[in-house]
Amino acid sequence: MIDRVGHAADDNAGFNVVRVVPRYMKCHYCDRDADIAVEKDGIKVGVCKEHFREQMEDLADSEWLQGIDEDLDIDRTE
């Protein structure tokens, strides 16, 4: 019953991608089935693809991500 979507394990800022999204898990933002789930501190949250993309777009537009780019100095040449 826990066999819908498999994902590689990943760790980012304390969030772990859930390897298999349980069939019963729904999107945190709507009533659709969750396509992606993350876990942090023992709490699992699922989102559908549409809401995942929206959250990623919001994150891409955020000052937090711009700060990361500056900290990493991605455009520098060696």
pTM to 2 decimals?
Answer: 0.58
The residue whose two tokens read 């942090």 is 40
Q: Mind listing the pLDDT tens digit for each residue in 18-62? A: 778 888 999 999 999 999 888 888 889 999 999 988 988 887 777
| Beta-strand runs (E) in the chain | 11-12, 15-17, 36-40, 43-47
